[in-house]
Amino acid sequence: MSGARESVHGMWSGRFAFILAATGAAVGLGNIWKFPYIMGENGGGAFVLVYLLCIVLIGIPVMMSEVLIGRRGRQSPGLSVKTLAQEASSSTRWQIAGWSGLVASYLILSFYAVVAGWALAYVIKTARGDFQGVTAEAIGGQFDAHLANPWALMAWSAVILFVTVYVVGRGVHKGLEKAVNFLMPSLFVLLGIMAIYSASNGAFSEAVQFMFTPDFSKLTINGVLLALGHAFFTLSLASGAMIIYGAYLPSNVSIAKTSVLIALVDTAVAMLAGIAIYPLVFQYGLTPAEGPGLIFVTLPIAFGSMPFGTFFGTMFFVMLVFAAFTSAIAMIESTVAWLVERKGLNRLVATAATGGSLWLIGLLTVFSFAKADWATFELNVFGKPITNFFEVVDYLTSAIMLPLGGLVIAIFVGWVMKRKITEEELQTSAAVYAIWRFAIRWFTPIAVIIVFLHLIGVLDLLLRLLGV
């Protein structure tokens, strides 16, 4: 029952195609690379708990809102929001909600492509047997050596971006959809195997204790913000993707059911990744706060010693690259759709220009990890040390832009859009609608605002003034 609008870029063939693409966007490096290491840096259990609450109470409602905006607006994120604002006779300034998503996913992709490049390099290292019979220490050393060579990192990220540009620019999604069909389930199974292997060969009980026993003394306000931001990151929210994918969604598909399904799969993958990694971390005396290298220095230890390790390891990194790749496609799509709609650029030219500029910005990340002097420094942002450009881009997007973008989306859908329209678009039971509407009007805005006020110290000041 969406309005009469149609997307100029085409439509999904149905519910399943949308679920695959949206899950492909959601599941990626965020689940397997980022979640385990930020959990480790932020003390484990309490962080996980806050993250899970954020997924359920904020992530799912915001995802529904974004898909709704896209399906109603049928354009790239900024223009969709603008159209809906006009429909609600409100200020077109609300379109900022869409544009900030576009900028965020552009910035995220600049480092995402670099990390996907690491995974690609690791396909070859694993296949070559580099990790066979090597000590845990030597495996760590290999990763450091890998990072220390900026030329290789530049080349690997160029390969990732080139393939992304090729697929998106030529619109050859068909073959990719087929591949994803089979690769996503395989990734799931393989992660399951890794989890079982490391649970039975590693320090499983210590890992479970670390991941699932909340110790709130280890959680700082920055940790809470990062858990919130990561809930957005991992579900690809406030980054345009769910709006643009919603724009291609047929009108008869249930937005509520598909959103819950996507969030469930995404969370399951993250948890499996944690269980695959942490028993090894404790078994081999590595520290949870290892940082962005965590999976690259733990999983190869398992691949080096488990039966058929070379085979499993190679498959694992191949799938990780694919998972990253389906996310990269979604990240570049908003910018490309916008350049095509508004600037009238040819699709291939638009994509190539975007990819090329991303590679250049990605150099900030490459040289951050290569520890170039100009790319490393010391900053303190609300108590969190930030030491290089990668961390700047990551913090700016995940911790600041995504939660604030989500806030604006929640206010727009909950307070600006007419109730009748959101009801019509969600087409769900009265109870589900009521819960969603409450979450989006009250819970999300209040939670995000409180976290930010606390972060900048205003909340504590207020509480003190009130004598609490």
Q: How many residues does the chain have?
A: 468
- DSSP H helical segments within 412-457, as ranges? 419-426, 430-438, 444-455
Among 23, 30, 123, 297, binds ligand TRP (CB under 6 A): 30
| Closest residue by Cα to residue 305 from 428, 425, 139, 454 | 139
Query: Which amino acid does the sequence have at 91?
Result: S
The C-alpha atoms of residue 204 and residue 211 are separated, in whole angstroms, by 11
Region from 136-144, 175-183, 228-236, 282-290 binding ligand TRP, contact rule CB under 6 A: 228-236
The C-alpha atoms of residue 460 and residue 468 are separated, in whole angstroms, by 9
User: CB 227 → ligand TRP: shortest distance, Å?
Assistant: 14
Taking the least distance from each CB to ligand TRP, the nearer of 32 and 199 is 32
Taking the least distance from each CB to ligand TRP, the nearer of 28 and 140 is 28
User: CB 78 → ligand TRP: shortest distance, Å?
Assistant: 15
Taking the least distance from each CB to ligand TRP, the nearer of 202 and 293 is 293
Secondary structure letter of residue 128 according to DSSP? T
| Closest residue by Cα to residue 135 from 285, 278, 34, 315 | 285
Q: Which parts of 290-329 interact with ligand TRP (CB under 6 A)?
A: 327
User: CB 401 → ligand TRP: shortest distance, Å?
Assistant: 10
The C-alpha atoms of residue 315 and residue 327 are separated, in whole angstroms, by 19
| Closest residue by Cα to residue 280 from 160, 357, 197 | 197
Region from 27-35, 61-69, 254-262, 432-440 binding ligand TRP, contact rule CB under 6 A: 27-35
CB-closest chain residue to ligand TRP: 30
Kindly state whether residue 29 participates in binding ligand TRP, applying the rule CB under 6 A.
Answer: yes
Kindly state whether residue 406 participates in binding ligand TRP, applying the rule CB under 6 A.
Answer: no
The C-alpha atoms of residue 437 and residue 263 are separated, in whole angstroms, by 18
Among 331, 409, 410, 451, binds ligand TRP (CB under 6 A): 331
Taking the least distance from each CB to ligand TRP, the nearer of 236 and 444 is 236
Are 187 and 140 in contact, with CB atoms under 8 Å apart?
no
Block residue for tokens 């090729």: 166
User: CB 329 → ligand TRP: shortest distance, Å?
Assistant: 8
Among 9, 12, 18, 26, binds ligand TRP (CB under 6 A): 26
The C-alpha atoms of residue 256 and residue 63 are separated, in whole angstroms, by 9
Q: Which residues of 44-61 are buried (b: 16+ CB within 10 A; e: fewer)?
A: bbbbbbbbbebbeebbbb
Kindly state whether residue 365 participates in binding ligand TRP, applying the rule CB under 6 A.
Answer: no
| Closest residue by Cα to residue 208 from 286, 279, 288, 269 | 279
Region from 160-168, 218-226, 236-244, 248-256 binding ligand TRP, contact rule CB under 6 A: 236-244
Taking the least distance from each CB to ligand TRP, the nearer of 118 and 233 is 233
Kindly state whether residue 28 participates in binding ligand TRP, applying the rule CB under 6 A.
Answer: yes
- DSSP H helical segments within 1-149, as ranges? 15-26, 29, 35-41, 45-54, 60-73, 77-87, 96-127, 136-147
Among 80, 239, 335, 388, binds ligand TRP (CB under 6 A): 239
* Phi and psi angles of residue 76, each rounded to the nearest 5 degrees, phi first: -65, 160
Taking the least distance from each CB to ligand TRP, the nearer of 95 and 397 is 397
Number of Cβ within a 10 Å radius of residue 278: 30
User: CB 365 → ligand TRP: shortest distance, Å?
Assistant: 15
Cβ neighbours of residue 391 closer than 8 Å, sequence gap 6 or more: 368
Kindly state whether residue 70 participates in binding ligand TRP, applying the rule CB under 6 A.
Answer: no
Region from 52-60, 79-87, 233-241, 345-353 binding ligand TRP, contact rule CB under 6 A: 233-241
Among 191, 241, 277, 295, binds ligand TRP (CB under 6 A): 241
| Closest residue by Cα to residue 11 from 338, 251, 216 | 251
Most distant CA atoms of the chain, gap in Å: 67
Among 75, 95, 100, 234, binds ligand TRP (CB under 6 A): 234
Taking the least distance from each CB to ligand TRP, the nearer of 136 and 225 is 225
Taking the least distance from each CB to ligand TRP, the nearer of 269 and 301 is 269
User: CB 337 → ligand TRP: shortest distance, Å?
Assistant: 13
User: CB 106 → ligand TRP: shortest distance, Å?
Assistant: 10
Are 410 and 444 in contact, with CB atoms under 8 Å apart?
yes
Kindly state whether residue 180 participates in binding ligand TRP, applying the rule CB under 6 A.
Answer: no
Kindly state whether residue 233 participates in binding ligand TRP, applying the rule CB under 6 A.
Answer: yes
Contacts with ligand TRP, residue ranges (CB under 6 A):
25-26, 28-31, 105, 108, 233-234, 236, 239, 241, 327, 330-331
